[in-house]
Amino acid sequence: MKNQIILDQIEKTIKKKRLMHAYLLEGKNKIEMKIASNRLIQSVFCQEKVDGLPCGRCSSCMRVISRIHPDVLILKPNGANIRVDDVRAVLIEMSKTSMEGGYKALLIEEAEKMNASSSNALLKFLEEPLGKKLLVLETENKGHILPTILSRVGSFHFLPMDKDELANGLKKEGVQSDLASDVSVLVDTLEEGKALAEEEGFQELRERVLAWGNLVLKKDGRAFINVSTSISPFIDSMKNEEKKQAQDRFFILARHFFEGQPNRQILGNALSKIEEAKVRVGRNVVFRYALESMTLDLLN
Ligand SMILES: [Zn+2]
């Protein structure tokens, strides 16, 4: 597990009974963030703690995981936002006595989707004494959370999954092995990976990069022509943002293609030429020209 250190820290806090009232779990690793938020919430409900830690097996623990515990409320976006009406409604529920006589917990998913009024409603709640209440916020991006909220919660930053881990996860989801490996270098999460693997424009780009890369490996002069007949027209037909993204993806896929080659000398040379071309494009050299001269260098 990539973020074992955070889980260890959380467990230590639970054991010492020093849990805060509110936590923010931030990062692009939904799976491990979910494990951590389950642990936090279970810790206030578990009936059969083992060595001070939630057992993970009792009916309370099971109901937390299957999201049917009556004292665990879940708030998530309704459309593009977490609406203030939904925040208010859930906070009213939070202020009621718990169903089972202990804690009440609130989990907010995609907390970055709270707008200003939603955030302010939540802030008011955090400013009051919380008693037997636990709040857990999950977010991909802490930058979208009010600083006044951040100052009242304990935060943990989660690192994204390793690329190998991500590729394996995608394979388990049925993505073909080579494609999963290429996708894993472009995304941080399984959800993003699955979506990208299915995107037609991406598949098309990838096939063109692979065709070009294979010609370069064979030192076949058609690799040069391939730039102006295949890669460049495909990417240049796109508009602003999309075009910029496709150019970035070209360089990342090209790098990844050569990283898969066993010959270290070819790899080293290719990586430095690709980096050079990328820098030139960043300095406004026409994409096609930068790729053509890179390809000539690679063919020599
Ligand atoms: Zn338990």
pLDDT of residue 264: 83
What's the pLDDT tens digit per position in 207-253? Answer: 999 999 999 999 999 999 999 999 999 999 999 899 999 999 999 99
Hey, what long-range contacts does 262-271 have (CB within 8 A, 24 or more apart)?
266/217, 269/298, 270/216, 270/298
Unique residue bearing structure tokens 């250190």: 5
Ligand 1 centroid from CA 43, angstroms: 8
- Written as six digits, the tokens of 255 are 């790098």
Residues 6+ apart with CB under 8 A from 241: none
Environment of ion ligand 1 (residues, CB < 5 A): 46, 54-55, 58, 61
Ligand 1 centroid from CA 24, angstroms: 23
Ligand 1 centroid from CA 46, angstroms: 4
State how far the Cα of 29 lies from the Cα of 246, in Å rounded to an integer.
24
Average pLDDT over residues 265-279: 92
Q: Give yes or no for a contact between 25 and 38, defined as CB atoms under 8 angstroms apart.
A: no
What's the pLDDT tens digit per position in 172-199? Answer: 999 999 999 999 999 988 999 999 999 9
pLDDT of residue 148: 95
**On the CB side of 155, how many CA atoms lie within 13 Å of its CA?**
14
Ligand 1 centroid from CA 45, angstroms: 7
Ligand 1 centroid from CA 60, angstroms: 6
pTM score above 0.85? no
pLDDT of residue 197: 97
What's the pLDDT tens digit per position in 5-27? Answer: 999 999 999 999 999 999 999 99
Ligand 1 centroid from CA 71, angstroms: 15
What's the pLDDT tens digit per position in 61-111? Answer: 999 999 999 999 999 999 899 999 999 999 999 999 888 879 999 999 999
Apex 154 CA angle, 153 and 159, nearest 5 = 125
Ligand 1 centroid from CA 277, angstroms: 56
SS (H, E, C) the chain: CCCHHHHHHHHHHHHCCCCCCEEEEEECCHHHHHHHHHHHHHHHHCCCCECCECCCCCHHHHHHHCCCCCCEEEECCECCEECHHHHHHHHHHHHCCCCCCCCEEEEECCHHHECHHHHHHHHHHHHCCCCCEEEEEEECCHHHCCHHHHCCCEEEEECCCCHHHHHHHHHHCCCCHHHHHHHHCCCCCHHHHHHHHHCHHHHHHHHHHHHHHHHHHCCCCHHHHHHHHHHHHHHHCCCHHHHHHHHHHHHHHHHHHHHCCCCHHHHHHHHHHHHHHHHHHHCCCCHHHHHHHHHHHHHC
CATH class of 4-160: alpha beta
pLDDT of residue 99: 83
CATH 3.40.50.300 placement within the chain: 4-160
2: pLDDT strictly greater than 90: no
